[in-house]
């Protein structure tokens, strides 16, 4: 099954978003880009973009999502408001792996202004390659689902 990743950034994450898109496409992964254009630094509201990616993931249009803003914080807060989204803000290799292995994160959030861009691509790859471990973590995810209802 072909993997499709939804991506979006606000004006503060557009450069890193473009680097991630190129890396994904070089790996043969399909990308659905919800904006903003790489060459447009016009200020936009990150919640609007986070919602587009989050809904794309929860309705099955895409397998997972990646969101980028200046710090990644705003995107993660906004995406996690959509039921069924488990958006994780990561900042190193360990958190990128754990986001999938323990939390089954379906949306990855990154901050363009706070992490090295080459390392960020490494985080994306680790997150994509990691598998959810299930087991004791399923019980915890069930409790998160209960919080959503």
Point out the residues that are catalytic.
69, 102
Q: Three-state SS across the chain?
A: CCCEEEEEECHHHHHHHHHHHHHHHHCCCEEEECCCCCCCCCCCCHHHHHHHHHHHHHCCCCCEEEEEECCCHHHHHHHCCCCCCCEEECCCHHHHHHHHHCCCCCEEEEECCCCCHHHHHHHHHHHHHCCCCCCHHHHHHHHHHHHHC
The two tokens of residue 67 are 């969101």
Tokens of 3: 């993997």
- Enumerate the β-bridge partners of residue 65: 6, 107
């Amino acid at each position: 099954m072909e993997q499709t990743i939804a991506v979006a950034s606000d004006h503060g994450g557009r450069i890193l978003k473009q680097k991630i898109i190129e890396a994904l496409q070089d790996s043969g992964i399909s990308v659905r880009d919800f904006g903003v254009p790489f060459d447009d630094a016009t200020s936009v509201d990150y919640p609007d973009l986070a919602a587009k990616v989050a809904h794309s993931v929860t309705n099955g249009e895409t397998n997972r999502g990646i969101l980028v803003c200046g710090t990644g914080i705003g995107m993660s807060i906004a995406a996690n408001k959509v039921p069924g989204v488990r958006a994780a803000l990561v900042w190193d290799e360990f958190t990128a792996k754990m986001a999938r292995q323990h939390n089954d994160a379906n949306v990855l959030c990154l901050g363009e202004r706070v992490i090295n861009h080459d390392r960020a691509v490494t985080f994306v790859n680790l997150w994509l390659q990691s598998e959810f471990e299930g087991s004791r973590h399923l019980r915890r995810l069930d409790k998160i689902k209960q919080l959503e209802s």
